[in-house]
């Protein structure tokens, strides 16, 4: 389902060079966590600027800084934090093991992709 890509798109939008607005995704509030609120909270904590709307998010890219990225027990939040960590030094993804829900070998594959780092 395409809505499962929303957290990844929001992560990429936070790293882009121009603002993005995602609408019609209010249903993302009813997943493992309120993904819209969680994404806004975590990206804003990293120094980004994300504004919530009832049915979406507006993302204004800003330089991000490393910090703990909470997953709220949500595998899509964990993969978004990992994605952001590729571009922003110092991001530590809390409870990365939650990705086992959809990809049990994620941490092994991720470590191998990064050259065993």
pLDDT tens, position by position, 32-42: 789 999 999 99
What does the pLDDT look like over 51-86, one tens digit per residue? Answer: 999 999 999 999 999 999 999 999 999 999 999 999
Cα four-point dihedral sign 111, 79, 59, 22: positive
Domain spans, the chain: 2-113
The token duo for 91 is 């991001």
Q: Are 29 and 36 in contact (CB under 8 A)?
A: yes
Residue 81: what pLDDT? 96
3-state secondary structure of 97: helix
Residues identified as active-site: 4
User: Which top CATH class is 2-113?
Assistant: alpha beta
Q: Mean pLDDT, to the nearest integer, of 82-97?
A: 93
Note if the pTM is more than 0.85. Answer: yes
3-state secondary structure of 83: helix
Q: Which residue has the higher pLDDT, 68 or 103?
A: 68
């Amino acid at each position: 389902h395409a809505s499962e890509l929303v957290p990844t798109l929001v992560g990429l939008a936070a790293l882009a060079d121009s603002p993005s607005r995602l609408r019609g995704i209010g249903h993302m509030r009813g997943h493992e966590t309120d993904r819209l609120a969680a994404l806004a909270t975590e990206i804003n904590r990293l120094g980004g600027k994300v504004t919530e709307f009832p049915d979406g998010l507006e993302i204004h890219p800003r330089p991000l800084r490393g910090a703990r990225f909470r997953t709220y027990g949500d595998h899509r939040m964990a993969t978004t934090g990992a994605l952001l960590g590729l571009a922003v030094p110092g991001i530590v993804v809390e409870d990365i093991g939650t990705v086992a829900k959809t990809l049990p070998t994620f941490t092994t594959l991720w470590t191998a992709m990064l050259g065993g780092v």
